[in-house]
Structure 1
Amino acid sequence: MSQYQDIGGLGRHYLQADSYGAAAFCFYRAILEDRANGNAWNGLILALSLMRKEHDAQTVLARYALHHELLEFDRDLITFSMMLWQQNPGALGEWMQLISQMKGVSEKDKPLFEEMAADMHKAYDELVEKHGIDTLKEQGLLTLPEYAARRIELDWLMEESFDAIFEHVNKWIEDPEAVLTAVRLLCMVPDPRSEKLLRRVCRNEEVDGKVRTHALLALRWLGVRGNARLNKFGESFVINLDQPEPELTVSVPAAFKPALDRMKLWMAKEQGVITEFEYESHAATDQLDMPETLAAKLEKADVPSVLQEVAHALIRAAYDKYYPLVPGIKGARQWSAALLMLIKEYVEGSGETWSYGEPERDETAVRHRNWLLSGSPNYVDTMHI
């Protein structure tokens, strides 16, 4: 078995164990050794996405398409491309056009991809006509080669010696403005010094509380298991990295899903997509899962993704700040109302019109709102979704 297959297999092992940083390092190494290793491209894009490194995932996805002459078509990556470039039809169109030329694309799929590419190019041309190319560039809408040319952290990790990397990281750890960058990098550096530094950040009360939570998560992504000590609020907590409790995640914790569902149901009700009775039939309960009939109706509602992202960002910020002393998420309706209050403030603070009615407000909902807000006190001014 060749070396790249060995390290690619190790990457899959790490990926399956939720050690996404270690997996990304292995997959990147495998790609450097064989650009035609489709399994490694797939694994690297997945690992980066699971760590919410969207910038790096876009870059790697662009490089994947530009190697279309070497690679076999991978249908799994279509979902990533549509998610990562949903705001950039130009890049998505370029990507689809190149994908249509890959080996393994069926005669049925090829014209479909070409048609999608043409539609995306048309949509991009309309954006250019409306806003101008310079404005689009300022907003980050790059071409596919421009995405591919961007430097990512893994490029630097492979070019520098680990000794040189740690010289930089040791300085960043002491800088409040750079420590999060260091933490996010260390999860992809398979060296004993990474674990040592991340554990030090977890115990350092002078480091921002959110960053300490990210350091704990970075240990897990690095592949560290067993216990880790987290110092917060003048206390010392021991977290089992095999099965962290509460949930340790870079995404929205699963416990908040019922509240987010009810938030979307409220917005659907205000649009007339569902009735007041249908809303009450679910919102008045603490059922975890939404009935299929209601979920199907919700698909027809206009729930802007940007407002959902605001809600997600508010949850993640508060959760990171207070972890592991996070509240139990009971009374999903009140948590939903809290989120609606905050995204209403965001919309109106941005000078837009809120068209989803006046959120429900009781003492519990206001208390939840204040807890969420404490993680992002200036979110209307600072949050750019």
Structure 2
Amino acid sequence: MENPISFHFNLAVDYINRGALGAASNLFYRTIMLDPNHYQSWVSLIFGLGIMKETGDQQILLARYAKRELPYVKELIGSALSAYKHNPKALMEWLRLYSERAEEKDREMLGHIIADIGQMMAKNAERIHAGNNPDKESSEPPSLDEIAEHKIYLDWIPEKKPEEIYDLIEPLLDLPQSVDMAIRMLTYFPGLRAEKMLRRICRSEETSNKSKTRALIALHWHGATGNAKLIKFGDSFVVNLQKPEPKLGHHLPDAYSALVDWVLLWWGKANGVIEGDQQLETSPSGKLELGKEQRQVIESQINPNIPAAAESIMRETYLHYYPRIAPIVNEIDEWGAALLNILSAFSQNWEEPWKFPLPELQGGSGLKREWLLKALLLKDASEPSGEPEEDSEEDEDLEEGSTEDSTEGSTDSK
């Protein structure tokens, strides 16, 4: 008979292979509860949180991992560099602590990274002091010890029964200001009741378009099977939860990633960082993207707010309009001019405002700008959505068909 640790871990890996990141996270956490030294579950959970863009939770798990006597896994360094990039103090603490268990060849490399971070922190402190900005000096980021003590939603597993968790979450789904937080909570607790709640959000007339897409992603990450009905723009869409098209997740569609790369390339040309005749390259997989060397040169000099804001705008666009994905690549210059115009307006809130001449909004650029801006509205009113019955036969059939592979059993086992 398979022991519980192997059972939970192997089932989690199976869910990962199916793209069910929420169900897998639940099971990896349960494996850690059974064996706190099962480092494969720690590492898998940390990597999964990175894919899910749960940076805060990833920081907490990385801090807990570093503070325990767990094996050195080189790949975690990349996760830490990404997760703590806005908290260099915690990053340096993590690297110092983690380097103690590193192999000799990696210890030297980590020493160089720590030294570079120290120099960067010293320069930032000098700049803040020179600018007489006491507010920035007093806003001390949390230390690694403090981060490790923070709670994540998965910490509810040993503290609450599944029905108690669902009772806590369900009322939050009815409030516009808390629905996204509730969906995020549900992501980690798959089960039939959670699935019904998420399906109800997908076809709700009151819920925003972005929240509906987030609920759809949560269903996919639960490993739910069958189809889900999505009501948007006065139309009804049917999405295959096992093989959704377009893909569901927090990674941008290829066309949207290409537009972000176009912005980087435009900036590189405008600032003389790269030659003016260079274009986006076509990768072996057919994607239009920046070349590796181009990216490294540009990212070393560009204001990081620009690519971060561009990616954020395109993610909001994806969430609002899914499953409709604009064919951006065919008119990428017009889309790029539209996105640059929005970034220029955003930059008024940055320390380094926009100072580059913008391309003119020619052709369809103006309409494309309005299309992007609509996705950025804080309250995107739901369009008329037909008459989806909350407990229609079709939806009951979908829910019944999806329970076969539900992780309700693993969620309920305490």
Q: For residue 296 of structure 1, what is the aligned residue in structure 2?
A: 293
Deviation at 1:122, TM superposition (A): 5.2
Deviation at 1:121, TM superposition (A): 4.3
Deviation at 1:119, TM superposition (A): 4.4
Q: Distance in 1 between matches of 2:316 and 2:261?
A: 19
Q: For residue 63 of structure 1, what is the aligned residue in structure 2?
A: 64
The 5 Å alignment of 1:184-333 reads: 184-279=184-279, 288-290=287-289, 292=291, 295-301=292-298, 302-329=301-328, 330-333=330-333
Letter in 1 for 2:80: S
Question: Number of paired residues?
Answer: 369
Q: Distance in 2 between matches of 1:158 and 1:209?
A: 34
Name the CA shift for 1:226/1:118 in 2 (closer, same or farther; >3 Å).
Answer: same
Name the CA shift for 1:131/1:148 in 2 (closer, same or farther; >3 Å).
Answer: farther
Note the residue ranges of structure 2 that are not aligned, 5 or more in a row: 380-414
Q: Distance in 2 between matches of 1:375 and 1:131?
A: 35
Letter in 2 for 1:91: A
Q: Does the 8 Å CA contact 2:252/2:315 hold for their aligned counterparts?
A: yes
Q: Does the 8 Å CA contact 2:52/2:249 hold for their aligned counterparts?
A: no
Name the CA shift for 1:115/1:299 in 2 (closer, same or farther; >3 Å).
Answer: closer
Q: Distance in 1 between matches of 2:76 and 2:109?
A: 16
Deviation at 1:300, TM superposition (A): 1.5
Deviation at 1:136, TM superposition (A): 5.9
Q: For residue 382 of structure 1, what is the aligned residue in structure 2?
A: none
Q: For residue 80 of structure 2, what is the aligned residue in structure 1?
A: 81
Q: For residue 156 of structure 1, what is the aligned residue in structure 2?
A: 156
| Cα displacement string for residues 324-374 of structure 1 (whole angstroms, at most 9, x for unaligned residues) | 234222312221221111111111354743233222421312211111111
Q: Does the 8 Å CA contact 1:273/1:298 hold for their aligned counterparts?
A: no
Name the CA shift for 1:41/1:269 in 2 (closer, same or farther; >3 Å).
Answer: same
Identical residues among aligned pairs (%) = 32
| Cα displacement string for residues 196-221 of structure 1 (whole angstroms, at most 9, x for unaligned residues) | 11111111111111101110110000
| Cα displacement string for residues 244-303 of structure 1 (whole angstroms, at most 9, x for unaligned residues) | 122322232222122222211110001112233335x979xxx843575xx524422223
Q: Are 1:49 and 2:50 an aligned pair? A: yes
The 5 Å alignment of 1:87-166 reads: 87-102=86-101, 105-121=102-118, 123-124=120-121, 127=124, 131=128, 135=135, 141-166=141-166
Q: Distance in 1 between matches of 2:208 and 2:290?
A: 40
Out of 182-191 and 129-138, give the one that drifted further: 129-138
TM-score (norm 1): 0.88
Deviation at 1:229, TM superposition (A): 0.7
- 1:189 match: secondary structure: coil
Name the CA shift for 1:297/1:118 in 2 (closer, same or farther; >3 Å).
Answer: closer
Name the CA shift for 1:248/1:360 in 2 (closer, same or farther; >3 Å).
Answer: farther
- 1:108 match: secondary structure: helix
Q: For residue 36 of structure 2, what is the aligned residue in structure 1?
A: 35
Q: Are 1:12 and 2:9 an aligned pair? A: no
Letter in 2 for 1:305: P
Q: Distance in 1 between matches of 2:166 and 2:338?
A: 43
Q: Does the 8 Å CA contact 1:48/1:56 hold for their aligned counterparts?
A: yes
Q: For residue 383 of structure 1, what is the aligned residue in structure 2?
A: none
Q: Distance in 2 between matches of 1:338 and 1:254?
A: 18
Runs of 4 or more, structure 1, over 6 Å off, are: none
- 1:201 match: secondary structure: helix
Letter in 2 for 1:162: P
Deviation at 1:125, TM superposition (A): 5.3
The 5 Å alignment of 1:168-187 reads: 168-187=168-187
Name the CA shift for 1:297/1:3 in 2 (closer, same or farther; >3 Å).
Answer: same
Name the CA shift for 1:183/1:377 in 2 (closer, same or farther; >3 Å).
Answer: closer
Q: Distance in 1 between matches of 2:175 and 2:199?
A: 17
Q: Does the 8 Å CA contact 2:334/2:363 hold for their aligned counterparts?
A: no
Q: Does the 8 Å CA contact 1:268/1:298 hold for their aligned counterparts?
A: no
Letter in 2 for 1:165: I
Name the CA shift for 1:298/1:232 in 2 (closer, same or farther; >3 Å).
Answer: closer
Q: Which has the higher contact order (CA 8 A, sep 6+)?
A: 2
Out of 124-133 and 335-344, give the one that drifted further: 124-133
Out of 175-184 and 107-116, give the one that drifted further: 107-116
